[in-house]
Every structure is written in C-alpha cells, then in structure tokens.
Amino acid sequence: MAVVYLDNNATTRVDRQVVQAMLPFFTESFGNASSTHDYGAAVAPALKEARKQVQALLGAEFDHEVVFTSGGTESDTTAIFSALEASPERNEIVASAVEHPAVLNVCQTLERTGRAKVHYIGVDAQGDLDIDAYRAALSDKTALVSIMWANNETGKIFPVPELAAEAKAVGAMFHTDAVQAFGKIDMALKGAAIDLLSLSGHKIHGPKGIGALYVKKGVKFSPLFRGGKQERGRRAGTENVPGIVGLGLAADIARQNLAADHARIKGLRDRLESGLLAAIPLARINGGGDSRLPNTCNISFDYADGEAVLHKLDRAGVAASSGSACASGSMEPSHVLRALNIPPYALQGAIRFSLSRESTEDDISQVLATLPEIVAATREKSPLWAEVRSSQVA
C-alpha cells in the first residue's frame, strides 16, 4: 500500500540534499564556531553561507539581520519580549485571534502577569482579518503588533506588509510569525516596515530544532538567551552548525523552486478540493479564497467525526491532521475554526491536508478514492446525520 503524507504544515521530510550537506558537520568539520583554532575557524564560512541563503529567501537587505534560533517558538517568544523591553513606556500588544499557540500562549501569560494588555483581532467567516478592528486597536500605547503571515490551519494569508506600515505609523514595532509562509510565498523584506520575523527549518524540508529570527537593522533588540557572544550577542549558546547548514540549503532550494512549486502544488490542492466537494455532500472549505497558501486545504464534512476520519485515513495509508500539531491530543475544537464561526456540526468534521513539493498526482488520486467512503461510514454512526437524511427523504 502506497503511503500518502499530507501533513506538511506539521513537518516536512528533510531533503536528501540537505541531509548530505549536514553530515560533515557532525564528524569532520565538528568544531565549535567560537573556538579560535582551525577546527572552529573551518565552520565559520558555512555559517556565513547559510545566513546569506536565508537572507536571500527572505529578501532581506543584510545577512546579519538573520539570527539563528532553535525554531519558530523561540523566535516568537524572543520577538515579543524584546519588543516590550524596547518600549517600556508602552504596554499593549495587538495580535490576531488565530495566531499559533507559540504567540497566543506568550500573550496570555503576559496578560495574566499584568505585564501587557492584549487586543485580539478577530476574523470573518472566510478567515480574513477584521481590518477596522485592527486599526481601532492601534494607539500610542501599542508596543508590539504580532500578526502571522499565513495561518497554519487554513493557509489564509494576511496583508502583513500593509499591516506593518500601519503599526509603524503609531510608533509600534511589528512582528510576524512567518513559519508557514516562509519558502511558500515571495517575501521582499527590504524596504518593508517589518521589524521582526520568525521562521523554522522543518517546514521547508530542513531539519527540526533550527530556525531564525529576522531582526531589521536598527531595531532595538534584547536577547532572550543571555550568556556568550554568539550571533553578535543576540542569541547565546553554541551554534547548531549542522542545523544551520541544513536550514541554509533548504532555504536555497526553496528559493530556486519557489515559483514552479507554487504553481504545481496549488494545482494539486485545487484538484483535491474540487474532487472532494464533488464526491462528498455537505462539505465546505474553511478559510477558502485566493489569499491563502498554495499547499493548504482545510475542509469540513458536516456531521462526521474528524478524529474517526483521521484514524481511518491513517489505517488506509493517508496522513493528515485536524489542525495544529502543537494542539494534538486536545478534544477541544480548533481556536482558529471557532474564530471563523463554523457551526458545531462542521467543526467536529474538520480535516487539514497540507501538501509539499513531494506531493504527487497519485497522492491526490488515492485520497479521492479513499475518503468519500470513510466519511460516509463515519457519518452512519452520527444520530444527527440520520436526522438529516430523514429530512431529505421527507
């Protein structure tokens, strides 16, 4: 049985080229980059090259604007705390209600401790940000705006460059969690009003445990990790050289293939969606429209048990998810889908398929051949579905 992996927003397979590039830095060029001997000096060029590769994919102006971290969560936390320290006279944060838990949980902690007041901006039924509410929340008390570039569950893209410009107009710093957008859409940070941006390697066929925080030149910055002088004093701790090399090459591969991958993956996603909507009654796309990532499909099947559907898909060789991997195991409906005001009978039947450049036409064919029967079997166990069928017959 062929195995179909469509949970790439959770993590991607590491590209074999990336693995090969990393290996020498475990056993040959294994020195500490901070050491003054030849073993340490030998890895310095690799770090510099990786920094330039990430810079190129971001469209940033300077390579030193890239600070390597352990991943998106560390980058998000660092950005939020740094912005608050940079503006002690301001104590308000503006964030969307559909942010990743890496941002939401930090904001909620700051609220509980009285460190900051947070304005959570809602979205409409299509997942688009309430721009009027956003503008109303901005003031001279705003220390930081943190709005994700693309949502991890629906793929919805927010107009981050424009939002950043409005934040700068009131003197606030602007941060974006771009973990899902990085490597999937074009980013031109040079000249943009974005101060801080978070990214992660394992979403673009790089290794886990490595990410970066873009810090625009001239932005006031306070490190989260203090100790040594690594990363120009902005992130203490011995550099994860193999991970950094892997992230750099993964970014370079993504940059070279960005346009072609975008078009091909979007075509696969659109075929998946149209096929499922045609084959399965009472199905709906959550957060649809053109302004979304090309690889993400969040679809609900009314009156179906999403967890049961996922279990049956897994047994059939198809890996998908119900939303953020960081919330897996929770029986609560997704905070993202709740924000879209999706009816309860559709919330429980939501499934996220997320594709990558490894996804194929055969993968889509297998899902289209398998899923309609699985949804039908799951619905048969729902009392509400029996009522719906009875009313249709009547």
Q: Return the pLDDT at 282.
A: 95
**What letter would DSSP give residue 150?**
B
Number of neighbours of residue 63 by Cβ within 10 angstroms: 15
Confidence of residue 391 (pLDDT cuts 50, 70, 90): low
Q: Which of 21, 3, 38, 23 is nearest to 248 (CA)?
A: 21
Instruction: Report the CATH fold assignment for 4-10+258-393.
Output: Aspartate Aminotransferase, domain 1 (3.90.1150)
Cα–Cα distances in Å, from 357 out to 19, 131, 381, 384? 17, 33, 36, 39
47 Cβ contact partners less than 8 Å away, ≥ 6 residues apart: 33, 239, 241, 244, 245
109 Cβ contact partners less than 8 Å away, ≥ 6 residues apart: none
Give the H/E segment covering residue 66. strand 66-69
Rounded to an integer, the average pLDDT of 4-10 is 98
Domain 16-254: assigned CATH number: 3.40.640.10
* Residue type for position 325: A
Give the DSSP per-residue string, 131-146: HHHHHHH--TTEEEEE
Percent of the residues in the chain that have a pLDDT greater than 70, as a whole number: 94
107 is a catalytic site residue: no
Decide if 69 contacts 197 (C-beta within 8 A).
no
Rounded to an integer, the average pLDDT of 262-271 is 98
pLDDT tens figures, 277-295: 999 999 999 998 889 999 9
Helix/strand/coil for 174: strand
Q: Over 80: is that where the pLDDT of 33 sits? A: no
Task: Give the domain ranges of the chain.
Answer: 4-10+258-393, 16-254
Which of 86, 326, 327, 388 does the annotation list as catalytic?
326
Rounded Cα distance between 98 and 120, Å, is 9
Q: State pTM to two decimals.
A: 0.94
309 Cβ contact partners less than 8 Å away, ≥ 6 residues apart: 301, 349, 351, 371, 374, 375, 378
Cα–Cα distances in Å, from 202 out to 51, 70, 288, 316, 394? 16, 11, 25, 25, 52
